């Protein structure tokens, strides 16, 4: 396994850094600190930033050029993610479309679907959300009950999705729905639904952070053209596994860059507050070592990509590691910073470096969404270690 960057990869990294210095207005954390910032204004800012990246040719990095991508290598894509994290750039708004649906369409969609949906997805003209979780089907995804019944040239959808990230802001949703109630896995299909379709209702959900990034989506006799079915009827579970593999994997290098920066901020905050004791140094050093382990795992996964292999069960290992590390890091930060670390960004006297309280609250979700830690451990036990089913 060669861990050194090639001259081509180094040239790409330098070109990207130059572009970021010329085009990034200010770090994302400063945008969040702006007293005039609202959820709407921050969404608009992220949409505009995505458009700039798209026009510069930096979105759909590893996708074929014929569908609007850059045709770059997985190594260059990983460099792109890491450099944006290091520069503290605004998060890409259409992350669910580009990160999850796009690869699913490339692998399983029709030529017509790719040409219709991918360009506006990359440009930020159509924002996507994910309709997987239901009130009774989260970690046990195959228990989903939202139904789709074929009626002429349309599927008729009935049911409810919940914890729908970007639901209140999205234009489209990709939905797992049940087309055969007797077949647990083979009776699931994957359809694309426009959110202004009659019979579709989106309601925002207020989170513990005070934000409404999540929503719940209701389908009541919503009619969806059958050409919006991805793959064949009953292919939904197989397509969902492709989506989840991309969701769980290959982001750890970008995470490592972010944690590196935040650990530096934590050390400086403790120093300036007179709280950098020997015990605090030991805790921060332990987190630094754990972050380096995550970075090494990310590089190992990248080497797998460089050999032309798709993400597999190693994505479950990545998911467990970063989500559990994130909880430990944020809990330790609040412990070391004391009461001042618990102020949200909008509170007078809040720290200007990192919104520590918000990061702590958000870290509780990481071990639940995209397959809980318990589910990931079962996958590793069964598919990596070969242990028998309990």
Q: Which of 74, 247, 257, 318 is catalytic?
A: 247
- Helix 278-306 vs helix 314-337: angle between axes, to the nearest 10 degrees? 160
Residue 348 burial (CB count, 10 A): 5
Contact 131, 270 (CB under 8 A): no
User: CA–CA separation, 217 vs 220, rounded Å?
Assistant: 10
Locate tokens 């190992």: which residue?
Answer: 300
Residue 58 burial (CB count, 10 A): 22
Instruction: Give yes or no: 227 in active site.
Output: no
- 372, 277, 364: which is closest to 329 by C-alpha? 364
Cα dihedral 44, 49, 50, 52 in deg (nearest 10): 130
Tokens coding 348: 């007078």
DSSP string, 37-90: --HHHHHHHHHHHHHHHHHTT-SSTTS-GGGT-----HHHHHHHHHHHHHTTPP
Tokens coding 103: 């690869």
User: CA–CA separation, 321 vs 73, rounded Å?
Assistant: 25
DSSP string, 176-208: EEES-TT-TTTTEEEEEEETTSTTEEEEEE--T
User: CA–CA separation, 147 vs 348, rounded Å?
Assistant: 49
Q: Return the ∠ at Cα 54 (arms to 48 and 57), rounded to 5°.
A: 150
Q: What's the Rg (C-alpha) of the chain? A: 21
Contact 270, 337 (CB under 8 A): yes
Contact 315, 380 (CB under 8 A): no
Q: Which residues are catalytic?
A: 247
């Amino acid at each position: 396994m060669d861990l050194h960057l090639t001259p081509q990869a180094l040239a790409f990294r330098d070109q990207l850094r130059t572009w970021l210095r010329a085009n990034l207005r200010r770090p994302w954390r400063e945008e969040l600190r702006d007293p005039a910032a609202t959820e709407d204004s921050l969404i608009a800012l992220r949409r505009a930033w995505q458009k700039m990246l798209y026009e510069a040719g930096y979105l759909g990095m590893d996708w074929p050029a014929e569908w609007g991508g850059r045709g770059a290598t997985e190594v260059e894509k990983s460099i792109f993610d890491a450099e944006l994290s290091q520069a503290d750039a605004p998060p890409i708004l259409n992350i669910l479309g580009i990160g999850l649906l796009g690869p699913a369409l490339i692998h399983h969609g029709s030529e017509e679907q790719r040409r219709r949906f991918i360009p506006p997805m990359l440009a930020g003209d159509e924002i996507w959300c994910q309709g997987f979780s239901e009130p009774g089907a989260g970690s046990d995804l195959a228990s989903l009950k939202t139904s789709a019944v074929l009626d002429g040239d349309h599927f008729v959808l009935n049911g409810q999705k919940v914890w729908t990230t970007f639901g209140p802001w999205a234009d489209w949703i990709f939905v797992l729905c049940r087309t055969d109630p007797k077949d647990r896995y083979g009776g699931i299909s994957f359809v694309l639904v426009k959110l202004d379709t009659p019979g579709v209702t989106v309601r925002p959900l207020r989170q513990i952070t005070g934000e409404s990034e999540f929503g719940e989506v209701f389908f009541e006799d919503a009619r969806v053209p059958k050409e919006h079915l991805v793959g064949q009827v009953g292919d939904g579970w197989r397509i969902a596994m492709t989506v989840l593999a991309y969701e769980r994997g290959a982001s750890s290098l970008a995470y490592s860059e972010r944690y590196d920066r935040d650990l530096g901020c934590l050390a400086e905050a403790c120093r300036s507050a007179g709280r950098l004791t020997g015990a605090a140094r030991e805790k921060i050093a332990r987190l630094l070592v754990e972050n380096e382990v995550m970075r090494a795992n990310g590089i190992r996964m990248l080497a797998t990509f460089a050999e032309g292999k798709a993400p597999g069960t190693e994505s479950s290992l990545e998911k467990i590691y970063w989500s559990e590390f994130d909880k430990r890091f944020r809990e330790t930060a609040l412990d070391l910073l004391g009461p001042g670390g618990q102020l949200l960004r909008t509170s007078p006297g809040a720290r200007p470096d990192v919104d520590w309280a918000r990061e702590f609250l958000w870290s509780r979700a990481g071990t639940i969404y995209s397959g809980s830690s318990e589910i990931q451990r079962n996958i590793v036990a069964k598919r990596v270690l070969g242990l028998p089913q309990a």
